Structure 1
Amino acid sequence: MSLFDLSDRARQYQTDLLEFMDSHVYPAEAVYEEQMRESGDPHFQPPVLEEL
């Protein structure tokens, strides 16, 4: 339970963010790990980040 309710605008931002995370970010995690592992460079910028 929250001390205050979210405004309609904030609730929409929350919904949009959760949908983006579910449809783009979480599925990209495995690709990120694979690209990082294949590069062998801890400072590598994986292409999947640009796609997000």
Structure 2
Amino acid sequence: MAGTFTLIWHDADIARRALADVVSDPDERLSYFEDIVQLLERFGVTVVLR
């Protein structure tokens, strides 16, 4: 896929904790953080969590 890139997400654990209680899809029970990471990956972005 043209235009793909790698996102290096520094301090991802801070974002994960901050968004842990925010649920974007109650049926899937994904936190907002997890949903964002999956969305990025679906569009061809390589996400590196640090």
TM-score interval, smaller chain: 0.3 to 0.5
TM-score normalized with structure 1 length: 0.31
Choose 1 or 2 for highest CA Rg. 1
Whose helix proportion is higher, 1 or 2?
1
Whose strand proportion is higher, 1 or 2?
2
Greater relative contact order, per chain length (Cα 8 Å cut-off, separation 6+): 2
